Amino acid sequence: MTTLADFSAETLAGKSTDLGTYLGKVVLVVNTASKCGFTPQFEGLQRLYDTYGDKGFVVLGFPCGQFADQEFDTASDIGDFCQANYGVTFPMFAKIKVNGRGQHPLYRWLKASRRDPLGSAIKWNFTKFLIARDGRVIGRYAPNHEPAEIAADIEAALSQGA
């Protein structure tokens, strides 16, 4: 069975990271964008990370410019924007594609694991996937689903063993 541990990704700093390092944690994977109407969700994502981080929860942000080119081109611009405007301290990764040719393998797996009622494709920025401690996808949330609305699901996943 495929899990989060089967993937790696490059951080904004250009370092390859084995996503298996997050096994044992409850993970929220989000495709982000710095110039989107949903960009203020960074604040709610950071609040979730601050609230549950010491209990074994982490947010992983994956910038993507596939939707109306709403992401900066460089990793430094993305990182600077997220830090300066929203105080983001959770891990952020290099800009990726989440759909189509050249999509990141992580997103191919996420979409196959939890389909949207209208299909598997990511429809817009700030689609969220909740991953259990064992690395399996347990939830998918539309872009308009505010981070605070996921808190109960995060708490339930955190209560499922350590």
Its sign, for the CA torsion 10, 39, 97, 5, is positive
Give the model confidence (pLDDT) of 3-49 as tens digits: 999 999 999 999 999 999 999 999 999 999 999 999 999 999 999 99
Q: Tell me the C-alpha distance between 15 and 145, whole Å.
A: 30
Residue 54 to residue 17: CA distance in whole angstroms: 21
DSSP letter at 133 equals: T
CATH number for position 136:
3.40.30.10
Domain with 112, as residue range(s), is: 4-158
Confidence of residue 121 (pLDDT cuts 50, 70, 90): confident
Where does the pLDDT of residue 73 fall: very low under 50, low under 70, confident under 90, or very high at 90 and above? Answer: confident
Question: What is this structure's pTM?
Answer: 0.95
Tell me the catalytic residues: 36
Question: Number of folded domains in the chain?
Answer: 1
80-100: average pLDDT: 94
* Residues constituting the chain: 162
Cα angle 94-7-139, degrees, rounded to a multiple of 5: 90
Q: Where are the beta strands (DSSP E) in the chain?
A: 8-10, 16-18, 26-32, 57-63, 128-131, 137-141
